Structure 1
Amino acid sequence: MKKIGIAIMALCISTLSFAENNLYYNILEFQESVSINVPNDTMHITLNMETQHKNRQTASQITTQKLNQVYEKLKKNKKFTVELGNRSVYPQYDDKQKNIISWRDSVSLHVNSKEFEDLSNLISDVSAQATLERVWFSLSTDKRNQAVDKASEQVLDTLRQRADFLSRKLGFSSYQLVKVNMNSHFSGGNMYANDVAEMYAVRQSAPVAAAAPRMKVSSDMSGEQSISQTANVIVQMK
């Protein structure tokens, strides 16, 4: 039984070696690439609640109160995704940097949603409790995967057309795929909308009586990402 096992193993190794060394003729290698632009579909904001008071405990209590008020407004919309950010407490010193004159307590919240208008309204609704630190936009996982699928389909169609064309031009009637290597590349990344944050900051600093209608963030402000799909292909002409 042991001799048979050894013989079978030797045969397998010999067969694999032959397959690996098998020569391919009429081989053609080429590359195709397709790029599509996809608008960012998710809006992110960072809100900051801050209090300065001579008493440390009082500063923390007021900041916590602001945080709870913002949370209550956030709970009204199930399409918001909320994440608690950093909280810090640090002293404020006098001009000589010796004596503590007050304490500053701050906490941040990160909120995102695909509903740009709802998130725009939230910024205005919580302006009494929080300030807007920054705004940025990104592509959701579902939207990104859909874009990759679309780019893959397009690049494979282009690949097939190119292979058909080349086989005819080279005098062959058909071809078979030997190897296809697909690679995706994303450019654009998350778009930080500093101008949007600045516009909100100006509005929040203005007197309430003179406040203009609420500013809406539209999809035009979200930017876009470019998704490139590249196919490196090896074909054998027949």
Structure 2
Amino acid sequence: MSTFPRTAALLTLSLGALASLPALAADDLHYNQVSLRAEASQEVARDLMIVTLYTEAQNADAAKLAAEITTAMNKAIGQAKQVKDVTLRQGSRNSYPVYDNKSQKITGWRERAELRLESSDFAALSKLTGELMQTLKMGNMQFAVGNAARKTSEDALLKEAVNAFKARAQLATDALGGKGYKIVSLNLNSNGYPQPFMRGPMMMKAAAADMESAPTPDIEAGTSEVSMSADGVIEVQMQ
């Protein structure tokens, strides 16, 4: 009568031991593992100029106001299309009611429409901006790293980031007294897009005056930092 329970108990114990083997093997993979991070960066010239112009008007007749804004924008777009290597994008367009201060009744409508211009040819875009500002106003001016320059920079930084990771991995291996290491995982990431540099209000005002008075004012766009990080895990082979 007692044979079956003992056999069942031994079988249960054996199955439990077998079930624990994969877990033990998985734990072994984490021995002598070290998480590391390395980063490479460089300053890249901002080669893209971005200008936002707008027109704004008010009229008691909403339809006439819309037609006025549309006419102004169409004229500006047609003029801008004549300039080579300038990319056009229509920005936001908003219309809202104007109320009487006392009666709070709607007395008219105000509308604003934006036009965004981009180019790596600063001289051409500066000249065009100056011409368009005869009828439009400047919303903002900013400079950024273009896609082509960013990709070229990131490709070069990828190699630098990997080499920096390897150097740090060897340093960690030496510190632990290991004879070598192998890379368990490695993730390479560009740390987002550099924020465009925007001119301050006073600088924008001065730039606007220059563009109206001179066809090709000198513009200093500056640089932005582009970086690439290498995050990974190595397994140190101990002696």
TM-score (norm 2): 0.70
| 8 Å contact kept, 2:169–2:234 | no
Distance 1:100 1:18, change over 3 A: closer
TM-superposed CA distance for 1:81, in Å, is 2.3
SS in 2 for 1:216: coil
Q: Report the residue type matching 1:233 in the other structure.
A: V
- For residues 188 and 147 of structure 1, the distance between their equivalents in structure 2, rounded to whole angstroms, comes to 12
Alignment of 1:199 onto 2:199: no
Aligned ranges 1:40-189 → 2 under 5 Å: 40-53=46-59, 56-90=62-96, 96=102, 103-164=109-170, 167=173, 173-186=179-192, 188-189=194-195
Residues 44 and 153 in structure 2, CA contact (< 8 A), matched pair in contact too:
yes
2:233 matched residue in structure 1: 233
Cα distance in 1 for partners of 2:183, 2:225 equals 31
Deviations 1:71-125 (A, max 9, x none): 1112113522222223344555667566777654432112222222222111111
Is 1:67–1:129's contact at 8 Å kept on the other side of the alignment? no
* Whole-angstrom CA distance in 2 between matches of 1:226 and 1:215: 29
Instruction: State whether residues 151 and 228 of structure 1, in contact with CA within 8 Å, keep that contact through their aligned partners in structure 2.
Output: yes
Q: What is the aligned partner in structure 2 of residue 214 from structure 1?
A: 215
State the Cα RMSD in Å: 3.6
* CA distance in structure 1 between the partners assigned to 2:68 and 2:177 by the alignment: 81
Q: Distance in 2 between matches of 1:90 and 1:163?
A: 60
- The Cα of 1:131 is off from its aligned counterpart by 0.9
Aligned 8 A contact 2:186 2:230 in 1: no
- Name the amino acid aligned to 2:37: Q
Segments of 5+ residues of structure 1 without an aligned counterpart are 1-12, 205-210
Quote the residue 2:15 is aligned against. Answer: none
CA–CA distance in 2 between the matches of 1:45 and 1:76? 17
Contact 2:33 2:233 in 1 (8 A): no
Displacement after TM superposition at 1:45 (Å): 1.6
Q: Report the Cα offset of residue 159 of structure 1.
A: 2.5
Q: Percent identity?
A: 22
Q: 1:173 offset after TM fit, Å? A: 4.9
1:153 CA displacement: 0.9
Aligned length: 219
**What CA distance in whole angstroms lies between the structure 2 residues aligned with 1:87 and 1:133?**
13
Match of 2:45 in 1: 39
In structure 2, do the counterparts of structure 1 residues 22 and 170 end up closer, same or farther at CA, with 3 Å as the change threshold? closer
Secondary structure of 1:221's counterpart equals coil
CA contact (8 A) 1:186 1:225 kept: no
TM-score, reference length from structure 1: 0.70
